[in-house]
Structure 1
Amino acid sequence: MKSWVRYRSRDDRIGFGLQDELGQIHVHDGDMFYTPIPTGVLLKADDVTLLSPCQPSKIVALWNNFHALAAKLGKTVPSHPLFLIKPATSVCGTGASIKRPKSYDGKIVYEGELGIVIGKRCSDVDPGDASRHIFGYTCVNDITAAELLNEDLNFAQWTRAKGFDSFGVLGPCIVPGFDWRAASVVTMLDGVERQNYPLSDMVFGPEQLVSHISRDMTLLPGDVIACGTSLGVGSIKNGSSVRVAIEGIGALTNSLT
């Protein structure tokens, strides 16, 4: 299955294209979401650096969206998706460093997740129409400076804790038509499996998420909904490598520096 990627070439040009099963990139012009135009140019994967596969105006990140994790935490499943916003400036791609904030020396946490990439502007979308607004799917590592969350007991600081530069890791590609129902998220920390959970355990599936969230805010092409995580969340030490993989999409690998 072909997938969409963004890249930086050796001459520092940023582009996008369809990556085939051999890893070759079929370069396109125009707009990935509206008018992708094949150019006939072919690039080898070794000749480029992959970037985040899209440039979202925001990442909408879910909390408590898996039955198994809710049961472990003793939480009831929500009647409406619970979410926070990660800013566009937090986005980075596979291979990029997750940068520890200079002002923070506490615990940093990984969360392997499925990401929904929006392909069409949507507002107040019905569940039955939501799939038409999904461009494809990607992998997400939702990074958190965990000790900042409740640093001030008067106000939970979700955006601050999750919004630092490089804390919204996306990639390596976007796969249209991906069948998430049979897939699992596998997260490896320094080569050791830490997460392996089925996406079928979601409280709200992708179409439901797009519909619900589009009634709370307008979603734009390239925006990402991070579907939330399940069991196995843990901390990353400086120098550690985290790999988030979903079979049928690929693997997202980054290290904390």
Structure 2
Amino acid sequence: MRYSKCSLMVLPALVGFLNAEESGVFLEGGYQQGKAQIRSTGKDGKTTTSTIRGFGLQIGYQMFANKYFGFKVYGLFDYAHTMGIKFANNGYPGGNPVDCKMPGSERTPPMGGASGWNTLQCSVNAMGVLQQMVGSNKPLQPNMLTYGVGADLVVNAISNKMMALGVIGGIQLAGNSWLLATPDFSDVALRYAGVNKSATGFQFLFNVGGRLRILKHSSIEAGIKFPMMRKNPFLQTKNDGTLYIRRLYSWYVNYAFTF
């Protein structure tokens, strides 16, 4: 009888130990750092990179079948600031990346009015347009916003009441926007020259890292995310190239609190 009573007392503690991970709503946030790339195609095409720094936020729900396996679904928001992508003047006459001429003429028409623009033959360089937007000899410093949803699998190698140690990995589906702190361009010359700006595009990311849970509510995650979509154009021209801005990767360190 005494043995049976002891067994009944130990059984709840053993069940709690085996199911050490708990399901619940979580809030997560932390620091991010990585690399951004600007790439242009065309006769003056070039590629350069710069450091980006910012933060990431997540809110979602985590579910655990047992102490070893779990699943997280969440909404996400990433912000990053580009530290400075520098590019040199590519040698356009007068620093002008738009070179328009009347058919059969070598004379560049004046920029004072819209009359006759439909008949012009224009050569437009995407990198040159961006340089003109930012300013001569100034670095390009766009801000990145990524927003969407994600899902991660959690696999613990060690899990008990005190701590859990394991790995995480999953995918994220998001919109990605690049914002420049410069005036937009909507004047008639660039519209007729065939320049198209698209600051936002769809992005698909892989996320992989490690996870350490401390006691019941707190955990620390560190990892790296890789955006996979490479051909979201920022500036497009009809006849002289396309310009792309994208995040190559970001590593992160996050703190998460589970309610």
Fold conserved between structures, TM > 0.5: no
Q: TM-score band (shorter)? A: under 0.3
**Structure with a larger share of its residues in strand:** 2
Q: Which of the pair has more CA radius of gyration? A: 2
